[in-house]
Copies of this chain bind each other. A is one copy, B any other.
Amino acid sequence: MTAEILNGREIAKDYRADLERQVNELKEKGVTPNLTVVIVGNDGASLSYVRSKNKAAENIGMESSIVRLDENATEEEVLNTVESLNQDKKVHGILVQVPLPKQVDENKVLDAITPEKDVDGFNPINIGKLYTGQETFVPCTPLGIMELLKHTGSLEGKEVAVIGRSHIVGQPVAKLLTDQNATVTLMHSRTKDMVSKIKDFDVVVSAVGKPGLLKGADLKDGAIVIDVGNTVVDGKLVGDVDYESALEKASYITPVPGGVGPLTITMVLNNTLLAAKRQNNL
């Protein structure tokens, strides 16, 4: 079997075309969705990631701006910036790029973003609403993974291994998969004989950041593989799964790059549109 490639760029393109249509509808009603990203310091990779979100927003007709603070900014300065964006009626979605410099308490800053504009879905109240089934913003990578999985058929009754227990990816995607009636096993660095267990699972979502963690031979025949890993090796972005060998064993597989990544940014836009609609009761 040669796997069908889940082309994240193509899937994202279609999704963004639909978002663009909705943005235009909103603009006709006088509301232009605005995503504002706060970045502290000069880290090149962070800056380029922030600019790509920025550009993606503008490409579908949203407004987007970047607020840059000096790398020596105090916690109070960062909190004041967030607070002024909370108050600004023209801003619908706020992102704070992490990691933050060590003089700034990351949890404190993320908690300060008003839940209504927290398009990353990292504010505890939004996480709590996710777990209690209330209206919320779902974190973007998990949401993007679910969008990719829609292209592979129903998840009902499927056995899914999620590898990695972060509250950014592993835990929320486990929750979303459970909501779709999949049976999820949440694996992590302390799971015994992890690799040899993978053969039992219909779907594998790997969010570890360890190139070569899984090979084709480790997979169940016809498994669906979602590779969230992205590690730079010799200047190239690689996932957790050995792509070439997995391609021969899986039924569907995401490439790295071009798999989950484009969907994550797409879901930032999705959540910003949602925020603009909710804030204007549209």
Contacts and interface: CB of A to CB of B under 8 A. Distances in A.
A161 to B, nearest CB: 9
Contacts of A265: none
Given A131-B127, A131-B167, A184 B183 contact: no
Interface in A153-185: 156-157, 159, 165, 167, 171, 174-175, 178, 181, 183-185
Q: Per DSSP, are chain A's interface residues mostly helix, strand or loop, or mixed?
A: mixed
A127 B125 CA distance: 8
A133 B168 CA distance: 12
Interface stretch (A89-97, A187-195, A224-232, A245-253): A187-195
A129 interface: yes
B132 A190 contact: no
A183 B186 contact: yes
Interface residues of A, number: 32
A139 to B, nearest CB: 11
A123 interface: yes
Given A107-B134, A133-B167, A183 B178 contact: no
A98 to B, nearest CB: 13
A156 B125 contact: no
Contacts of A165: 178
A128 interface: yes
A171 B175 contact: yes
A173 B159 CA distance: 20
A126 interface: yes
A41 interface: no
A212 interface: no
B183 A183 contact: no
Given A124-B125, A185-B186, 8 more contacts: A122-B132, A124-B128, A127-B131, A131-B131, A132-B167, A133-B167, A159-B192, A181-B190
